[in-house]
Amino acid sequence: MARNGKQRVSFFLPNLLVGGAERATVYLANGLAQRGYHVDLVLMKAEGPNLQCVAEAVRIVDLNTRRATASILPLARYLRRERPDILLPALETANVAAFFGRALSRVPVPLAANVHTTLSRALTQPAGFRFRALARTVRWCYPRMDAIATVSRGAAEDLIRAAGARPQRVRVIYPILTEGIAEIARKPAGHPWFAAGQPGVVLGVGRLCPQKDFDTLIRAFALVRRQHKVRLVIFGEGDLRAELERIVKELDLTEVVALPGYVENIFSCMAKAALFALSSAWEAMPMVLTEALACGCPAVATDCRSGPEEILQGGRYGRLVPVGDVQALAEAICRTLSEARPEFPQEALRPFSADFVLDQYSQMIEEVTRG
């Protein structure tokens, strides 16, 4: 229950491994704790590099489980023991486990799920039994949530359509942009191609997986090289590394394309890149695009569902191209490289600022707990 007149908020996640949802949840937990809420970060397994980012004021609760189904009973015990004022799970498996954990606990804690994906795409990936079962369960649970926060208008529309969520209970709250990003961006870049005097760099960032469609970006870059003597760097790791390296070799780009894995300070690379390219087939809210703009890097992006159109405001702050269109992406990159570096207005970042986002979460918590 609330202590000393402050509400007790419990977040629930599988872990704190590398990922946008995990990082966004840590920012929220830290921010609410700074505002005086009593915050617990309940994890199926307390592991991952984002653990080091959790503020001292946030209590970490480790359920010490590996699977969502195995976490239901420990979560129910936690709810019976601690009785938080609200439970805020994130990611589909945690959202579902939280629904059943609350039911098992018989504690009437309000449940406000966080959805960080375009649900219809997430639930139609590998067509194994586990994914089909999750899709059915999500469509049963989500309409019964007390509230659902989504990270973009497109994700909210998709959630209502794909899962039957009640529109009046769905709200759009953008993730928090890293604070002090401009200062971090001024530090040295972690790759030699971003040093002064080097050719310009087209930058891509993300997991090497089908969703990010770096195949299209590499093939578009091959066309860009006919007009601009630039290089391409794609930071990230994933299952498609070998396939992407094969394409690079096939197109004779090994001297001008690098896939160096992860880098510690991506913001300094963004600030020094000639252009940031988002080639995704789908997204929910690609914060990496917002981060690039915040670092002063010009950007082009696919007009995928969802997020890029909202961030770039319909093309006002960067060109939008059709998904999977090599020629259109190459042309957008070439035209942007030929122009003067644009100024991105800081006011456009206000919906991603900590104060703005935390105000919205505080309002949601107040409304949901008030009933």
Q: Does the pLDDT of residue 4 top 60, yes or no?
A: no
CA 293 from chain centre, in angstroms, equals 16
Q: Do 364 and 247 lie in a common domain?
A: no
Q: Do 54 and 121 lie in a common domain?
A: yes
Q: Which tens digits make up the pLDDT trace of 144-196?
A: 999 999 999 999 999 999 889 999 999 999 999 988 898 999 999 989 999 99
**Per residue in 97-119, is it b (16+ CB within 10 Å) or e — as a string?**
bbbbbbeebebebbbbbbbbbbb
The residue type found at 110 is: P
Number of domains in the chain: 2
For residue 49, tell me if it sits in a domain.
yes
Report pLDDT for 329.
Answer: 98
Report pLDDT for 1.
Answer: 44
Q: 């590398």: which residue's tokens?
A: 18
Report pLDDT for 126.
Answer: 56
Half-sphere exposure of 231 (CA within 13 A, CB side): 19
Q: Which tens digits make up the pLDDT trace of 90-108?
A: 999 999 999 999 999 999 9
Q: How many whole angstroms separate alpha carbon 312 and alpha carbon 318?
A: 6
Q: Which tens digits make up the pLDDT trace of 331-360?
A: 999 999 999 888 888 889 999 999 999 999
Token pair of 18 as six digits: 């590398």
Report pLDDT for 124.
Answer: 67
Q: 């997204």: which residue's tokens?
A: 283
According to DSSP, residue 352 is labeled G
For residue 250, tell me if it sits in a domain.
yes
Q: How many whole angstroms separate alpha carbon 269 and alpha carbon 267?
A: 5
Q: Do 32 and 153 lie in a common domain?
A: yes
What's the pTM value of the predicted model, to 2 decimals? 0.90
Of the candidates 354, 211, 210, the one whose C-alpha atom is nearest the C-alpha of residue 284 is 211
Residues with Cβ < 8 Å from 41, sequence gap 6 or more?
10, 11, 13, 25, 26, 29, 54, 58, 59, 60, 61
Q: Do 56 and 153 lie in a common domain?
A: yes
According to DSSP, residue 194 is labeled G
Q: Do 335 and 365 lie in a common domain?
A: no
**Would you tell me how many other CB atoms lie within 10 Å of the CB of residue 238?**
17
Confidence of residue 121 (pLDDT cuts 50, 70, 90): confident
For residue 2, tell me if it sits in a domain.
no
Q: Do 51 and 134 lie in a common domain?
A: yes
Report pLDDT for 15.
Answer: 96
Q: Do 210 and 228 lie in a common domain?
A: yes
**Would you tell me how many other CB atoms lie within 10 Å of the CB of residue 338?**
9
Q: Does the pLDDT of residue 206 top 60, yes or no?
A: yes
For residue 1, tell me if it sits in a domain.
no
The residue type found at 291 is: E
**Would you tell me how many other CB atoms lie within 10 Å of the CB of residue 298?**
22
Q: How many whole angstroms separate alpha carbon 122 and alpha carbon 284?
A: 10
Average pLDDT of the residues in 41-55: 95
Q: Do 156 and 108 lie in a common domain?
A: yes
Q: Do 283 and 358 lie in a common domain?
A: no
CATH value at residue 160: 3.40.50.2000
Q: How many whole angstroms separate alpha carbon 313 and alpha carbon 195?
A: 31
Report pLDDT for 118.
Answer: 86
Average pLDDT of the residues in 297-322: 95
Q: How many whole angstroms separate alpha carbon 133 and alpha carbon 142?
A: 14
Average pLDDT of the residues in 202-213: 95
Average pLDDT of the residues in 122-143: 73
For residue 87, tell me if it sits in a domain.
yes
Average pLDDT of the residues in 244-266: 96
Q: Which tens digits make up the pLDDT trace of 358-369?
A: 999 999 999 999
Report pLDDT for 128.
Answer: 47
Confidence of residue 2 (pLDDT cuts 50, 70, 90): very low
Token pair of 323 as six digits: 């998904």
CA 306 from chain centre, in angstroms, equals 12
Residues with Cβ < 8 Å from 49, sequence gap 6 or more?
16, 17, 18
Q: Do 152 and 281 lie in a common domain?
A: no
For residue 65, tell me if it sits in a domain.
yes
Confidence of residue 3 (pLDDT cuts 50, 70, 90): very low
Report pLDDT for 6.
Answer: 79
Report pLDDT for 179.
Answer: 83
Higher pLDDT, 139 or 228: 228
Q: How many whole angstroms separate alpha carbon 118 and alpha carbon 103?
A: 26
Token pair of 95 as six digits: 């959202």
H-helix or E-strand spanning residue 287? helix 287-294
Q: How many whole angstroms separate alpha carbon 96 and alpha carbon 173?
A: 20
Q: Does the pLDDT of residue 290 top 70, yes or no?
A: yes
Q: Do 294 and 152 lie in a common domain?
A: no
For residue 3, tell me if it sits in a domain.
no
Q: Does the pLDDT of residue 275 top 50, yes or no?
A: yes
Entry field: residues in the chain: 371
**What's the chain's Rg over C-alpha atoms?**
21
Helix (H, G, I), strand (E, B) or coil at 13: strand
Q: Which residue range is the domain that position 296 belongs to?
A: 181-349
The answer to whether 331 and 277 are in contact (CB under 8 A) is no
Confidence of residue 130 (pLDDT cuts 50, 70, 90): low
22-to-17, 34, 53, 115, 292 alpha-carbon distances in Å: 7, 18, 11, 12, 19
> Cis (ω within 30 of 0) for the bond into 306?
yes
For residue 253, tell me if it sits in a domain.
yes
Q: Do 171 and 193 lie in a common domain?
A: no
Q: Which tens digits make up the pLDDT trace of 7-38?
A: 999 999 999 987 788 999 999 999 999 999 99
